[in-house]
Structure 1
C-alpha cells in the first residue's frame, strides 16, 4: 500500500519540478530579451531625440531669420529697448527672448521649442499660446540661446541655438544625445560635437568649443559669454536626486514598458513550447 500511495506523490513531485523548470525558463528568457533589447531601444530613442532637436532647431532658425530681416538682429535686448519693441520679453532665460518671436508673428506654435533634456524638469509643450504668460512656459523649451546677435555682424558659424545644456557654465548633458551636443549656427547649419569628461563640447580640432572664455571668437565679432541664455525649468529648488528620478522616469518609462511587453511576449511563447513537455507523464 505504501508503494502504491507513493506513486502519485512521485508523479506530483516530478510534475512540480518540471513546472518549476519551465518557470525558470520563462524568467530567464524574460531577462535575456530585456538585457538585449534595452540598450538598443535606448540608443534608438537618443538618436531619434537628436534628430528631433535638429529638426526643431531648423524650424526655429527660420523664425529667427525672419525676425532678423524685420529688425536687423535676432531677438534680444535691442528689440526690448526699441520704442515699439518688447520690453516685457527679456530676462535671464531663452524662453523670455523667444516670446519676441510670438509677439512679432514669426511663429505661432510651441511645438518647435522642444528638445529632449534641455531643461531639468522638462515636459512637452502644451500648445497653449492664448497669452504670452502661457507661451513656452518653464520646462517647455529645450534650447539654450545666444542673444543680441545678427546675420551681418557675426561670422555665420557662430553658435545660436544649443542643446542640451543644463545651466552650468558651458556644460551639456552627456546622457541625452549619446555623449554629443547639438549646435545650430547663425547660417542655419546644425553640427554635432563630442563631449569630454567635463561635459564640454569639443571642436573639430579637439579643443573645447567654449574653452577660451575671454577670446571665444567666430570671425568678425567676439562671442560674449554673458549673452548665453539657458532654457528655463520650473523647480530649481528640488534636490538633484528628485530631478534625476523625474528625468529618468519621464524619458525612459515608455522604453522600459515596451521592453517588458516584448520580453513577456517572447517568454510566453517559450513557456508554451515547454508546456507539452511539462504535462507529459
Structure 2
C-alpha cells in the first residue's frame, strides 16, 4: 500500500504539470520537455510509468514493485533498456484519468492477472490494493471463486459501474 501511495503522489504531480496523468497523449510532451531516451511505449504500465521518470518526478524503481507472480525487485538502473524493465513493475494502470473524474475511479491496482479483468487472491491474503482518483489507497477483498473485486455491489471492472463515469477502463497491465 505504501508503494501505491508513492506512485499516487507522483501521478498527481504529473497531472498538475501536464493536465492529465501519463497516457498516449502525454508522450510527445514528455519527449519535448526532456529529450529523454527512455522507452515511453503505449502497451504496459511499465511504459506509462516511465514518463514519471523521464520528467524527474521520481527516480525510484522500487516504488513500482509489488510482490506478485512474475515480478522481481527492481535494479535501480535508469538507462533506456533498463528503466522499469520486464518484471520490475507489479501494478496495473488505468489510463485516461482526468481531474473531473469520479473520485472513486481506480487509477491503479494490484494484483491483477495480466490480460484479464480478474485479480489473483494469493499475493495479499485475498485483497486487492487500489489507488483511486481521490489519491486514497484502499484494500478490498477479492472473491476467490471469480477473481473479482466488488465496489458498490458491482464488479470493479464492469464498465457500467458508476465509478467509470460511462467510460470503460483502458487497462495497461505490467510487463511481467
Scaled by the length of structure 1, what TM-score is found? 0.57
Q: Is 1:108 aligned to residue 59 of structure 2?
A: yes
Q: RMSD of aligned C-alpha atoms?
A: 2.0
Does residue 1:70 correspond to 2:21, yes or no? no
Name stretches of at least 5 consecutive residues in structure 2 with no aligned partner.
Answer: none
SS in 2 for 1:218: helix
Q: Deviations over 1:181-237 (max 9, x none)?
A: 1111011111212112111112253x3222x34x24327x43433x1111111xxxx
Q: Note closer, same or farther for the CA distance 1:224–1:132 as it changes in structure 2 (3 Å cut).
A: farther
Q: Is the 1:217–1:223 Cα contact (8 Å) retained in structure 2?
A: no
What count of residue pairs does the alignment treat as equivalent?
171
CA distance in 1, matches of 2:128, 2:70: 19
How far apart are the structure 2 equivalents of 1:174 and 1:133? 32
Q: Provide structure 1 residue ranges, at least 5 long, that are not aligned to the other structure.
A: 1-53, 234-281
TM-score in terms of structure 2 length: 0.88
Structure-2 separation of matches of 1:199 and 1:162: 13
Which structure's CA Rg is the greater one? 1
Query: Is 1:177 aligned with 2:120?
Result: no
Q: Which residue of 2 aligns with 1:123?
A: 72
Q: What secondary structure is seen at the aligned counterpart in 1 of 2:10?
A: helix
1:161 and 2:105 equivalent? Answer: no
Residue in 2 aligned with 1:209?
156
DSSP 3-state at the match of 2:114: coil
- Decide which structure has greater helix share: 1
Paired residue secondary structure (1:59):
helix
Give a deviation string over 1:8-40, Cα, whole Å, max 9, x none: xxxxxxxxxxxxxxxxxxxxxxxxxxxxxxxxx
Contact 2:39–2:81 (CA under 8 A) maintained in structure 1? no
Preserved contact between residue 114 and residue 173 of structure 2 (Cα < 8 Å): yes
Whole-Å separation in 2 of the counterparts to 1:79 and 1:161: 18
